Structure formats: structure tokens, C-alpha cells
A and B are shown apart, each in its own frame.
Chain A
Amino acid sequence: DQQVKQNSPSLSVQEGRISILNCDYTNSMFDYFLWYKKYPAEGPTFLISISSIKDKNEDGRFTVFLNKSAKHLSLHIVPSQPGDSAVYFCAAKWRNYKLTFGKGTLLTVNP
């Protein structure tokens, strides 16, 4: 049972444009959501997070939106840069229980 779903295996965007990565979840108990970025042969790097009491969190070029009624979150990257090319993982947790990860979306930003 996949509780965190990233339905787009890949996304290609032009440099300078907006990248939107999507994530859906099924467990309404999740109260904390995170995005990680992963380069090849490296471990995932924490990018940004959001608590379920908020609907938006912003950090520089990265913004995460949470729609609890739709059980959906998205990561916006504006403007996209070639160095943003990586696999992006969405993850969710409830209280101190384990993080549940999606399968990831490969983002390619073309110069």
C-alpha cells in the first residue's frame, strides 16, 4: 500500500521557467511533509518542509504548497536552474512515526 505517491516519474523544464513537482498521499494522519533532492551517488538532501497547520512554506526559490482536503502537496521551483536537475522525493510522517517516501520524480532543467 503506497501511502505517498509521486505519479510523474520525470519532468523536463526549460531554464528560468517554473518547475512544479506533485505528490499525493492517502493517510490523513500525516502531519509533516518534506521534500528531498537527490543527486546520483549521493544521499538525499533535505530541501524544505511544511507542517499540516500551514498551507504554504517558502525558502528562496522553493515553495511548498499543501492542500489537506485534496491530500496533495506540490513543490514549486522558480526560476529553475540546471543545477536543480536531480531526483526529488516527497516524504510524509505522523508525529514521531517513520518517514514514508514516494518513488521520486526526476527533474531535468535544460539550459
Chain B
Amino acid sequence: EAGVAQSPRYKIIEKRQSVAFWCNPISGHATLYWYQQILGQGPKLLIQFQNNGVVDDSQLPKDRFSAERLKGVDSTLKIQPAKLEDSAVYLCASSLNGVNQPQHFGDGTRLSIL
């Protein structure tokens, strides 16, 4: 079974530029998550989709971050404009529907803001 695919693996941009990340979840997984992991911290949920609807985006900085999941499969996360504090690893995860289904993570995109 193929895992969660993310691209790119690394991205370096200057502050105030924009950047986009892509995620393709495990086939059949209806729930998709985007996390931000800052060095030395655990992952922090940014947004959760159930199919193509948003379940939780309470910790998404909506003035600069946006995410979409068209057709309920793959998803993109965008940052515009980027700030220095956005330097982090952005992880995508997916899970099956149902109670207490574990989330399976991709390898993430490491974003560096200069």
C-alpha cells in the first residue's frame, strides 16, 4: 500500500514570498490533515478535511494560510505571504473514517524562510 505522498521535500523562499505544498493521501482515506512542526516541538494541527469539507481549521492563520481539497482526494496548502516564523516542517496525514483510526503521515516538506 502506497503511503502519504508529499511534495516538494524541501523549499527555501524569502519572506513575503508565497509557497504551496501538495499532498496525496493513502487511497481510500477520507480524512486528511495538515500539520506544522516547528523544531523541537510536536506536530500542531493546522486544518482537517473530511472528504472535501473542512472539519477543523481553528489553528490555521487564515490571514496568510489557505488549504483546499478539491474532489476529496489530494490537497494543497498555501502560504502567502510567508513570514520568518513559518519556517517549519509541514506534514500531511490521512486516516480512514471511523472512531479511533490512527493517522498516517507523509515525510513532510521542510520550509526555510530567509
Which A residues have a C-beta under 8 Å from some C-beta of B?
A: 4, 32, 34, 36, 41-46, 49, 51, 89, 91, 95-99, 101-104
Among B13-21, B64-72, B102-110, the stretch in contact with A: B102-110
B108 in contact with A43 (CB, 8 Å):
yes
The B contact surface, by secondary structure, is loop
Which B residues have a C-beta under 8 Å from some C-beta of A?
A: 4, 6, 40-45, 48, 55-56, 91, 93, 99-100, 102-108
The residue in chain B whose Cβ has the minimal distance to the Cβ of A41 is: B107
B42 in contact with A43 (CB, 8 Å):
no
List 20 A-B pairs, Cβ < 8 Å. A32-B100, A36-B105, A42-B107, A43-B91, A43-B105, A43-B106, A43-B108, A46-B102, A46-B104, A51-B100, A91-B42, A96-B55, A98-B45, A98-B48, A98-B56, A99-B103, A101-B42, A101-B44, A102-B42, A103-B41
B4 in contact with A43 (CB, 8 Å):
yes
CA distance A24 to B50 in the complex (A): 29
A103 in contact with B48 (CB, 8 Å):
no
B99 in contact with A103 (CB, 8 Å):
no
CA distance A49 to B48 in the complex (A): 20
**Within 8 Å CB of A89, what residues of B?**
42-43
B48 in contact with A104 (CB, 8 Å):
no
CA distance A98 to B33 in the complex (A): 9
**Within 8 Å CB of A104, what residues of B?**
42
CA distance A91 to B102 in the complex (A): 11
